[in-house]
Structure 1
Amino acid sequence: MRKFRVAAFQRKPVFDDVAQVAARVSEDIAWCEGEGVDLALFPEGYVQGYATDLPGIARRAMAVDGPPFAELLSALPKSGVEMVLGFIERRADGYYNSAAVIGDGLIKGVYSKNHPNERDFLPGRDAPVFRKSGVVFGINICYDANFPESAQRLSGQGARLICYPLNNMLAAATAEKWRSKSVENLRRRAAETGCWVASSDVVGTAGEQISFGCTCIVNPQGTVVARVAEGAEGVAVFDMDCFDVR
């Protein structure tokens, strides 16, 4: 049986430089093409840089049907490697913490964080699933991992893989608190749903904040089978057996 290869990237955050992010993602996708990767996962809010205050969110937000997002798509490779890319989304009713699924130069869909822990993001309501090379996958974003029902909502639709874009750039004491808790949340969601889980986090420092990095791949039994070292950029790659029917 053919395996489904996932690459989860741990990257330093970039703020207010979409062109630089697009160039780095393009390099990573080129690497994925050479490695036979089916799906590439990038961190929460990676495109514009994460923001928690309304002025920062408003300045960085982009609409999927607007010129800035079109420019982003044109800068990314038209690759058969599908990517999950976190960004700050602008809609008519407000701002969303979202992740776009992009492949062959097209937006295949968008998931918006159902449980935002920042007051200026609106909660997404939908839980779409996607299909790539015969594998059904869905997305939860960062704080969503605290809610078992969010993962179960995806597995109930046939998802065999749940992708978690993360952004654990936090004040030092808070970052230390979540250092192990983030991994344990992912392990629990995998074991509860019987799904594979893959996460992608930022790493390093930004001002007085720090992220140790929680980029890993977890099998359906809740065992971490691949992880990027804390404090470093890198990529976790694993060949998942996601084709079995439950």
Structure 2
Amino acid sequence: MRGWLRVGACQTPEFLGDIERALLCIEGFAAQADAQDVDLLLFPECFLQGYLVEEQHVREHALSLDSARFAVVLQRLARIGQTLVFGVIEQADGRYFNTAVVVAQGELVGAYRKTHLVPGEFLFEKGDAFPTFVLRGVRFGINICYDTQFGEAAAPIVTQGARLLLVPAQNMMRHAAALHWKDLHHAIRAERVRETGMWLVSADVTGERDEFRIGWGPTSVISPRAEVVAQVPLMTTGMVVADIR
């Protein structure tokens, strides 16, 4: 086991209620990642079904992780060589969660449920666990978007010996809010890095949903010294690759 991990973070368009297009996007990035010997690919928050906290969207598209519908998704991803981390809208026992799954060669390795919900996420329930995972000798955990504003979301991960914090995010916002937050995401995430000493890798959507909402990103890599060492340019789709040692 080589003891270091090559991660690709993917800045993608937003797909709302179109799992087929989301899977095609994963497959496209996986093909690029093959050429760069990437071990793990990170995608945005609620990536599979699209982040839209409206009752019809959530009820129609939420998936149980042990359902036949999700099994079809896993089967589709079985031929991808990289371990995948991507957001899903999860249904479990009549409840809904904003979840990130870890999938390796079509097998569900585990999942993290968002523990800090923004006020608009009233349809979701909070998670209460902070699992970590090991790949290529590197232990990693997950925070989802708004989680990174709270040190108590990252602390349980670093105490398990993690060297890497993965952050699926989704910052498609109204124009004024997007502009306000555009330069704050890195500052907030850098605070978590200073507290924990972990690497932090994030993945976000980009583009415009309608005339009112825009997603700038960012998709980036922050080193244990709290420096942004790589980033996909704002308002472009693409992948940034980093070696976590």
TM-score range, shorter chain: over 0.9
Correspondence list, 1:78-89, <5 A? 78-89=79-90
Return the offset for 1:188.
Answer: 1.2
- Mapped partners of 1:135, 1:23: distance in 2: 28
1:119 Cα deviation from its structure 2 partner: 1.1
Map 1:108-187 onto structure 2 (within 5 A).
108-117=109-118, 118-187=121-190
Q: Distance in 2 between matches of 1:234 and 1:143?
A: 23
Partner of 1:228: 232
Output the CA distance in 1 between the equivalents of 2:80 and 2:26. Answer: 12
1:239 pairs, out of 230, 240, 243, with 243
SS in structure 2 of the partner of residue 159 of structure 1:
coil
Corresponding residue for residue 45 of structure 1? 46
Note the C-alpha offset of 1:231.
0.7
Letter in 2 for 1:209: R
SS in 2 for 1:143: helix
TM-score, structure 2 as length reference: 0.95
Matched with 1:244 is none
The root-mean-square deviation of aligned C-alpha atoms, in Å, is 1.2
Amino acid at match of 1:45: C
Partner of 2:68: 67
Q: CA deviation at 1:7?
A: 0.5
2:93 and 2:52 mapped to 1: Cα distance? 19
- Partner secondary structure for residue 180 of structure 1: coil
Q: CA deviation at 1:86?
A: 0.6
CA deviations over 1:16-60 (Å, ceiling 9, x no partner):
111111122012112212211111100001101111122221111
Q: Is the 8 A contact 1:214 1:230 kept in 2?
A: yes
Q: 2:189 matched to 1:189? A: no
- Contact 1:204–1:210, Cα closer than 8 Å, also in 2: yes
8 Å contact kept, 1:85–1:99: yes
Q: Shift of the alpha carbon at 1:178?
A: 1.2
User: Normalising to structure 1: TM-score of the pair?
Assistant: 0.95
Distance 2:231 2:223 in 1: 12
Which amino acid in structure 2 is aligned with residue 34 of structure 1?
Answer: A
Deviation at 1:2, TM superposition (A): 5.6
Q: Distance in 2 between matches of 1:181 and 1:27?
A: 30
Residue aligned with 2:48, SS:
coil
3-state SS of paired residue (1:167): coil
% identity of equivalent residues: 35
Count residues in correspondence. Answer: 241
Map of 1:20 onto structure 2: 21
Q: Which runs of 5+ in 2 are unaligned?
A: none
Deviations 1:126-168 (A, max 9, x none): 1000010111000000000100111111001111100000000
Cα distance in 1 for residues equivalent to 2:50 and 2:80:
24
Structure 1 residue 213 corresponds to structure 2 residue 217: yes
Distance across 1 between alignment mates of 2:155 and 2:61? 31
